[in-house]
Amino acid sequence: MIKTFSFRTLGCRLNHSESDSIQYDLTRRGLKAVSCLEPADLTVINSCAVTRQAEAKTRGAIAASRRASPGGKIAVIGCCSHFCPDKLMSLPGVDLVLGNCEKYNLYEYILTLEWGGNGIYVSPINGYGAFSPIGVASSGSQTRAFMKVQDGCDYRCTFCIIPFLRGKARSRKIEACIEEAKLLEDLGFQEIVLTGVNVGSYKAEDGKDLCDLIELLLRNSGIKRLRISSIEPDLVSDRLINMVKNEKRLCRHFHIPLQHGSDEILESMHRKYYIKDFKELIDKLSREIPEVCIGTDVLVGFPGENEENFVEMYEFLEKAPFSYLHVFRFSPRLGTVASGLEDDITPNEKKCRSSILRNLSCLKKRNFLNRFLDKTAIVLFEKRIKDECLVGLTDNYIRVKAVVNRNFINELVKVKLKRVNIDSVEGEIISE
């Protein structure tokens, strides 16, 4: 009898949103959630397939689950399940593999497991099962909630497998988004993070876009903060910039994937912009929105990336007003255009180039944090670590740690930023 379950979630915020929704559904049905470090009757692994490393992490999560719960069952759901279901099912300990269309019906498959059944359930992506039922809340933490408003992508970047695993772009109904926002507010969440594969492409049936959705969410709920997850550069409109500039409840944080700093490579990737367009956008964000945090994704080792291309990217990243970089190494994904190109960059060279950019990211992050020393900021505290230390985020994505006796978890608190650490700032509560 399956009475307890745990989750191990890999990959993007969208995956975490979906895991949270499914966990919420299982607890409503009487199952008990436990830590992934505790023995559980069922471990659910929400997988990622964006790179070979992500696949390897999925296999590692399966092995870790066997060690933590030697007598328990294992279900693997999500993108890696869709990408290589047979390979996953052949791994020791795996009892159930569910694709992206089946994962929200996990409870029904659990009943099958209890009767001794197992197997692979992966159907073609056709829009079915894209969104959880209304009322299934998505809790990214005790204080922040990831709310899925969009799925799928109509872009066809040559390196990306996600459109094949998630299908065409489709958007959640505005009414359902508003209803879930109200539920999350009632449950006590202070911040909602809007998530999706390509959030900026949000388009409701009546033609309302992402900006319309944001306006309606703010108008119809009392959520203190609304944050936008990763958004494509060609979808950051002037209207959105003005909204973030003027609306206090919208977080001053943009994560805008660059992918590469060379026009030659961008064309090969089938991206929808040139470097000059990207530069104009982030310069405008920095100019229009005081203290904005701008993060980006970059991919090293794409086929054809020579030393000149890499240097061009480095120089652009070095000068641009980025607050941090997420650096990935190219790995061919079967079925993508790039998988048919010659992977002519050696693993060692990819590793070297990614290390160079990660070091640059650390420098840019530290420079960004240093700008806020001795300033005050409003921090939403999320959790307590090491007994007396609280950790939380500012609206512009600064991680703040503060030593304080009172429990400020899930509260917005004014903090003075005092000392910069590697990736966070130590702060002092201004008044208790």
Looking at 46-50, 95-99, 343-347, 402-406, which range is the least confident one? Answer: 402-406
Same domain, 170 and 299: yes
- Answer yes or no: is 126 within a domain: no
What percentage of the chain reaches a pLDDT higher than 70? 96
- Answer yes or no: is 111 within a domain: yes
Q: Average model confidence (pLDDT) for the chain?
A: 92
Q: Which amino acid is at 302?
A: F
Q: What digits encode the pLDDT tens for the residues 65-75?
A: 999 999 999 99
Is a pLDDT exceeding 90 seen at residue 326?
yes
Same domain, 154 and 27: no
Mean pLDDT of 189-217: 96
Same domain, 167 and 261: yes
- Answer yes or no: is 248 within a domain: yes
* Bridge-based pairing state of the strands 73-78 and 94-98: parallel
Q: Which residues lie closer than 8 Å to 181 by C-beta, 6 or more apart?
A: 147, 192, 217, 220, 221, 223
Same domain, 203 and 349: yes
Same domain, 188 and 222: yes
Is a pLDDT exceeding 70 seen at residue 126?
no
Q: How confident is the model at residue 361 (pLDDT cuts 50, 70, 90)?
A: very high
Cα separation, 392 vs 398, in Å, equals: 8
Cα distances (Å, whole numbers) of residue 128 to 103, 104, 123, 168, 406: 11, 10, 10, 11, 47
Q: Which of 90, 121, 152 is the last residue of a domain?
A: 121
Q: Which amino acid is at 106?
A: L
Q: Which residues lie closer than 8 Å to 220 by C-beta, 6 or more apart?
A: 178, 181, 182
Same domain, 153 and 296: yes
Can you give the pTM of this predicted structure? Answer: 0.91
Same domain, 56 and 204: no
* Count of structural domains, the chain: 3
- Answer yes or no: is 189 within a domain: yes
Q: How many residues does the chain have?
A: 432
- Which residue range forms the structural domain that includes residue 342? 144-368
Same domain, 361 and 381: no
- Answer yes or no: is 81 within a domain: yes
Task: Kindly report the CATH number assigned to the domain that includes residue 158.
Answer: 3.80.30.20
Q: What is the pLDDT of residue 127?
A: 53
Q: Are 9 and 16 in contact (CB under 8 A)?
A: yes
- Answer yes or no: is 402 within a domain: yes
Same domain, 400 and 299: no
Q: What digits encode the pLDDT tens for the residues 297-311?
A: 999 999 999 999 999
Is a pLDDT exceeding 60 seen at residue 84?
yes
Q: List 393's β-bridge partners, or say none.
A: 380, 399
Q: How confident is the model at residue 136 (pLDDT cuts 50, 70, 90)?
A: low
Helix axes 275-288, 238-246, angle to 10 degrees: 20
Is a pLDDT exceeding 90 seen at residue 173?
yes
- Answer yes or no: is 127 within a domain: no
Q: What digits encode the pLDDT tens for the residues 151-171?
A: 999 999 999 999 999 989 999
Mean pLDDT of 13-23: 87
Q: What digits encode the pLDDT tens for the residues 214-264?
A: 999 999 999 999 999 999 999 999 999 999 999 999 999 999 999 999 999
Q: Which of 368, 391, 418 is the last residue of a domain?
A: 368
Q: What is the pLDDT of residue 222?
A: 95
Task: Kindly report the CATH number assigned to the domain that includes residue 78.
Answer: 3.40.50.12160
Q: What is the pLDDT of residue 395?
A: 97
Q: Are 361 and 327 in contact (CB under 8 A)?
A: yes
Q: How many CB atoms lie within 10 A of CB 407?
A: 10
Same domain, 302 and 400: no
Same domain, 233 and 342: yes
Nearest to 313 by CA among 301, 295, 331, 330: 301
Same domain, 312 and 218: yes
Cα separation, 146 vs 39, in Å, equals: 27
Cα distances (Å, whole numbers) of residue 15 to 8, 42, 127, 278, 312: 10, 19, 17, 27, 33
- Answer yes or no: is 133 within a domain: no
Q: Are 197 and 151 in contact (CB under 8 A)?
A: yes
Q: How confident is the model at residue 124 (pLDDT cuts 50, 70, 90)?
A: confident
Q: Are 47 and 81 in contact (CB under 8 A)?
A: yes
Q: What is the pLDDT of residue 141?
A: 59
Q: What digits encode the pLDDT tens for the residues 372-393?
A: 999 999 999 998 887 779 999 9
